[in-house]
């Protein structure tokens, strides 16, 4: 379904009944990334998956000022109000995890539990953020100048996704075809407005998050393993799970393990599990 929010439109998948779990995809992704999990989890939850701004079937405004962590969090709040949802279990992957964390900081009373897959609270220093902003703007310009096909071909080769080369070819093709459904302006503006350098650092906010948090990383994704371990030290109620022999995209590389870990966490923190 499409839901209007502040003159924009967001594509939303909704299935099931019970407590709500909201799923947020990563950069270049869409709500379709969660299809298999929506089918499984909807037997126990109302599962909602959203195409984030600039992605999938949702709006892709030309103005990059629409694309900020705080603004996207507000869009999600309006969307949930429209659906009469006031409490959620929130799961985000990578960029979606950073947005999930931003939402949880802005609207903590709405969060029953938070699951962050391969995600980060941002960069600590101005120097780090400035360097990342420069890189993200350069990549955004590359997308606009060379087109989506060239970018997707490049994106598949970055070290972050090296472990995906071990996936069956049919799965790699499915991922590629989904990425190609995106638009140049949507991805470019997402980098400019919601890149790791553009977002505020949330490290100092972690100690104030009083709800249960699950941090998930793949063993081969050492950068994010290190980040998750550091996050766990600051969060009052955090579990950390490292899955062996896989990289950044746990839900793609080991979907059965991902499902098992998420369901086990939700069983602990949902009031009712059908």
Confidence of residue 111 (pLDDT cuts 50, 70, 90): very high
Report the alpha-carbon distance of residue 136 to residue 86 in Å, rounded.
34
Determine what percent of the chain is predicted with pLDDT higher than 90: 86
Position 272 scores a pLDDT of 61
Q: Please, what sign has the CA dihedral across residues 57, 152, 187, 70?
A: positive
State the pairing for strand pair 46-50/2-5: unpaired
DSSP string, 1-22: -EEEETTEEEEEEEE--SSEEE
176-191 as b/e, with b when 16 or more CB fall inside 10 Å?
eebbeebebbbbbbbb
Q: Please, what sign has the CA dihedral across residues 168, 169, 172, 174?
A: negative
Q: What phi and psi values does residue 21 have, to the nearest 5 degrees? A: -120, 125
Radius of gyration of the chain (CA): 17
User: pTM of the predicted model, to two decimals?
Assistant: 0.94
User: In whole numbers, what is the pLDDT of the chain averaged over residues?
Assistant: 94
Neighbours of 273 (CB within 10 A): 13
Position 273 scores a pLDDT of 54
Q: Could you identify the residue written with the tokens 């919601």?
A: 194
Q: Could you tell me the two tokens for 139? A: 């990549």
In the CATH scheme, what is the homologous superfamily, with its name and number, of domain 2-122+200-269? Answer: Alpha/Beta hydrolase fold, catalytic domain (3.40.50.1820)
Higher pLDDT, 30 or 159: 30
With a cut of 70, say whether residue 112 has pLDDT above it.
Answer: yes
Sheet with 238-243: strands ordered across: 2-5, 8-15, 46-50, 20-24, 88-93, 111-117, 213-218, 238-243
Position 32 scores a pLDDT of 94
Q: What is the dihedral of CA 129, 134, 136, 141, to 10 degrees?
A: 160
pLDDT in tens, 146-183: 999 999 888 888 888 877 888 888 888 888 898 989 99
Report the alpha-carbon distance of residue 214 to residue 230 in Å, rounded.
13
pLDDT in tens, 188-197: 999 999 999 9
What average pLDDT score do residues 97-102 get?
97
């Amino acid at each position: 379904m499409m839901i209007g929010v502040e003159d924009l439109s967001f594509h939303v998948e909704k299935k099931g009944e019970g407590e709500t779990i909201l799923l947020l995809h990563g950069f270049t992704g869409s709500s379709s990334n969660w299809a298999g999990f929506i089918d499984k989890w909807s037997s126990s939850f109302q599962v909602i998956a959203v195409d984030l701004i600039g992605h999938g079937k949702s709006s892709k405004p030309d103005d990059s000022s629409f694309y900020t962590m705080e603004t996207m969090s507000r869009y999600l709040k309006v969307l949930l109000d429209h659906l009469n949802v006031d409490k959620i279990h929130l799961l985000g992957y990578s960029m979606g995890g950073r947005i999930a964390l931003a939402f949880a900081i802005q609207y903590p009373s709405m969060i029953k539990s938070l699951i962050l897959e391969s995600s980060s609270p941002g960069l600590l220093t101005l120097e780090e953020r400035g360097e990342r902003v420069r890189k993200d703007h350069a990549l955004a310009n590359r997308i606009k100048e060379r087109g989506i096909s060239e970018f997707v071909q490049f994106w598949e080769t970055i070290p972050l996704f090296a472990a995906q080369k071990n996936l069956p070819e049919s799965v790699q093709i499915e991922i590629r075809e989904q990425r190609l459904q995106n638009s140049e302006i949507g991805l470019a503006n997402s980098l400019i407005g919601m890149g790791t350098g553009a977002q505020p650092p949330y490290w100092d906010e972690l100690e104030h998050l009083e709800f249960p948090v699950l941090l998930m990383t793949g063993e081969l994704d050492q950068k994010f393993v290190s980040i998750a371990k550091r996050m766990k030290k600051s969060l009052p109620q955090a579990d950390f799970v490292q899955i062996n022999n896989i990289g950044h995209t746990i839900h793609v590389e080991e979907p059965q393990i991902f499902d098992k870990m998420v369901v086990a966490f939700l069983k602990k923190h949902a009031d009712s599990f059908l």
